[in-house]
Amino acid sequence: MKKNRLKKIVKNIFLNHGLSKSHAEISSNYIIQAELVGASSHGVSRLKMYCDRIKKRLINPKPKIKIKKISQSISHIDANNAIGFVAADIGIKKAIYNAKKTGIGLVGIKNSGHYGLSSFYAEQAVKKKLSVLCFTNAPPAIAPYGSKKKLFGTNPICFGTPTSSKIPFILDTSVSMINRGKIRVAAKQGNLIPENVALDKFGKPTRDAKKALEGVQLPIAGFRGSGLAWMVDILSGVFTGGNHAGRVKDPFDDFSGPQNVGHLFIVMKSNIFVGNNYNKRIKENIKKIKKLPKTQGTKEIFYPGENKYNKYKNNINKNISLTKNIMNDLKNLID
Ligand SMILES: NC(=O)c1ccc[n+]([C@@H]2O[C@H](COP(=O)([O-])OP(=O)(O)OC[C@H]3O[C@@H](n4cnc5c(N)ncnc54)[C@H](O)[C@@H]3O)[C@@H](O)[C@H]2O)c1
């Protein structure tokens, strides 16, 4: 389907579920962006979930979002259970504003929901020549190192910075071996998941996506990944007033209350320490790494974000293809 047509459909679905024009515009925009960077697990496939939660008022379609100024650099947002896209969009814009004024902007957000890809927010800061760190927690998926029980989310860590070329450096990675969305898609389509990414509920390695969802996902790099997941839970949840320690609700399966996801954004002027030398230094840094001798089969060393940018460029004028299941979801949501 053409991207503009799909965006209009998604926007209208949000409007029919009670979102304001601007909130429907923001949310539909992010959903289509996810499709364009090839992250379909965070695209239209999640629309039914968002709508189910709005119908049950677990996502508040008309939130009264409060922004508390703590200092010129620091703001705290209570998103009042807004859809995560809107809460995070307001949050990153505030962090950018604070950073432009003072050199650094710190924004904590509580009472939010699933906000899609962290890179969406990082890109906004980088476009303004700022550097950025984004954290969000997510529902239980990973067992803390040494435990049998899942508790941490796939808790992505995202860092973005301008490169002085048109492709920004955006490292945006889950701390699980693969992100949960990919396992959900595999479960829906009956596909196997890769080896060594999940255990079933008995603690046995599994490639069965459904069993993986019932069991635990494995963190990247053992106790190091578990530690990173924990760090993100503290920054996004403990710090902000959001849910933490396994209490972020699974948006697909747990309708017992709002998710109360927390997000933390730190935005900095890239040139605070080295002034105008920043551009020269980052260019030199990337050039040096790209020129390194390559392993067999590697044509080019990419920096994080290049692959997503290339996918986006490739997809921007193509139709977005949707599975039968998702087309059915769309039809049911329109009716
Ligand atoms: N909101 C949530 O609760 C939530 C939870 C988990 C993940 N997510 C999102 O899911 C998305 C996908 O996460 P993921 O872990 O599957 O990402 P991924 O594994 O696709 O990529 C991770 C990072 O590695 C980089 N990369 C990929 N291939 C590379 C290569 N060949 N050379 C150099 N760098 C390369 C990518 O640019 C990216 O920055 C992220 O955008 C994340 O924010 C969201």
Is the distance from the beta carbon of residue 302 to the nearest atom of ligand 1 less than 6 Å?
yes
Is the distance from the beta carbon of residue 34 to the nearest atom of ligand 1 less than 6 Å?
no
- Give the span between the Cα atoms of 186 and 189, in whole angstroms: 5
Distance between Cα 170 and ligand 1 center (Å): 9
Is the distance from the beta carbon of residue 136 to the nearest atom of ligand 1 less than 6 Å?
yes
Helix axes 3-16, 21-36, angle to 10 degrees: 140
- Name the token pair of 151: 């508790």
Residue 154: CA count within 13 A, CB half-sphere: 22
- Name the token pair of 83: 């859809």
- Give the span between the Cα atoms of 267 and 34, in whole angstroms: 22
- On the 0-12 / 13-18 / 19+ scale of CB atoms within 10 A, 208 is middle
Nearest CA to ligand 1 atom 16: 179
Closest ligand 1 atom to 306 CA: 37
The alpha-helical segments, DSSP class H, found in the chain are 3-16, 21-36, 47-55, 84-102, 118-127, 180-189, 209-214, 223-233, 277-290, 306-315, 324-334
- Give the span between the Cα atoms of 157 and 230, in whole angstroms: 11
DSSP state of 249: P
Closest ligand 1 atom to 174 CA: 15
pLDDT at 188: 87
Is the distance from the beta carbon of residue 172 to the nearest atom of ligand 1 less than 6 Å?
yes
Closest ligand 1 atom to 308 CA: 37
Is the distance from the beta carbon of residue 41 to the nearest atom of ligand 1 less than 6 Å?
no
Closest ligand 1 atom to 119 CA: 41
Distance between Cα 93 and ligand 1 center (Å): 22
Is the distance from the beta carbon of residue 133 to the nearest atom of ligand 1 less than 6 Å?
no
- Name the token pair of 257: 């209350």
Q: Which residues contact 327 (CB under 8 A, 6 or more apart)?
A: none
Question: What are the pLDDT tens digits along the chain (335 aa)?
Answer: 999 999 999 999 999 999 999 999 999 999 999 999 999 999 999 999 999 999 999 999 999 999 999 999 999 999 999 999 999 999 999 999 999 999 999 999 999 999 999 999 999 999 999 999 999 999 999 999 999 899 999 999 999 999 999 999 999 999 999 999 999 999 988 999 999 999 999 999 999 999 999 999 999 999 999 999 999 999 999 999 999 999 999 999 999 999 999 999 999 999 999 999 999 999 999 999 999 999 999 999 999 999 999 999 999 999 999 999 999 999 999 98
Helix axes 306-315, 21-36, angle to 10 degrees: 100
Distance between Cα 173 and ligand 1 center (Å): 4
Nearest CA to ligand 1 atom 3: 138
Nearest CA to ligand 1 atom 21: 173
Nearest CA to ligand 1 atom 24: 304
Is the distance from the beta carbon of residue 39 to the nearest atom of ligand 1 less than 6 Å?
yes
Residue 324: CA count within 13 A, CB half-sphere: 2
Cβ density class 89-116: b for 16+ within 10 Å, e for less: bbbbbbbbebbeeeebbbbbbbbbbbbb
Closest ligand 1 atom to 118 CA: 43
Distance between Cα 331 and ligand 1 center (Å): 30
Distance between Cα 99 and ligand 1 center (Å): 25
pLDDT at 335: 80
